[in-house]
Every structure is written in structure tokens, then in C-alpha cells.
Amino acid sequence: MPRFRLETALKVRERLEKLYQKALAEQVQIQQELRDHKKLMEGALETHDLNLNQSKKSGFTVMQLQMSDHFKERLGLQMEVNQNQLKEQEQVIELKRQELTRATQKKRVLEILKEKQQQRFEEEMDRQERQEADEIAQGLRRYSVQ
């Protein structure tokens, strides 16, 4: 079988696809870390609210109330920053998905061309084999007729 003339381009496309897959996986991992961090902050806020409610029952000072307010404010700001980071990360992931899709499509085009070349080669080989078989059959027929 003849060598596919775009084999090098196909290999490059395959490597690019793998790189894009790796980049997408890294971005998804970052997104998961941001989600985990968000859950951790939400858990800390819930725990803080429970502790504050218990403190209200047993009595607390104005200083504790101020510290609680500052903690909630700081945690709220961090959660807002985290939410913004998650939105940005979703956009990055979408871009990486699009890059991967384009790379996969380009690779697939080359694979289809390679398959068509393979098919044409096999058809040509079949045609030549049939032609040779016909020639042999004609030669045998001529020989048997004489």
C-alpha cells in the first residue's frame, strides 16, 4: 500500500488533539477545585451561623457580634470572588472545548482522506487482480479450444 501523503499532517493533528484534551482536562480540574473551595466556604458559613445561634441562646458580647459580622462580610466577598472565578473558568472551558472540537474535526478530515485513499488502493488492486484472472481465463480458454 502506498504511503498516505498527508500522514505527517495527520500525526500533527493527533498530537494537537491530545494537547487540547490535556488542556481541557486541566481547566476542568481547576473548575472542580474552585467548586470544592466554594463548598468549603458555604460549609464554613453554615457552621458559623449555627455557632452564632448557639451563642445567642447562651449570651454573647457586642465584640463577638462585630467579629461575626466581619467574618460574614469577608466570607461573602471571598464567595463573590470565587463565583466570578467560576464564571471565568466556565468561559475558558468552553473555549477549550471549541478548540478540541475544531482539532478533532480537522483530524477527522485527514482520517477520512486516508480511508478514501486506502479504499481507492484496494479497489485498484481488486481491479488488477480481476484483470489478471480474466487474462488467465482467456489464455486457458484459448489453449483448451486449440
Domain that holds residue 65: 7-112
One-letter amino acid at 36 equals D
How far are the Cα atoms of 124, 129, 132 from residue 138, in angstroms, in the given order?
Answer: 21, 14, 10
In a domain, 142, yes or no: no
In a domain, 82, yes or no: yes
Read off the pTM: 0.74
In a domain, 122, yes or no: no
In a domain, 130, yes or no: no
Number of domain units in the chain: 1
- Helices 7-58 + 62-145 axis angle, to 10: 160
Dump pLDDT digits (tens) for 79-124: 999 999 999 999 999 999 999 999 999 999 999 999 999 999 999 9
In a domain, 34, yes or no: yes
Dump pLDDT digits (tens) for 51-87: 888 888 888 788 888 888 999 999 999 999 999 999 9
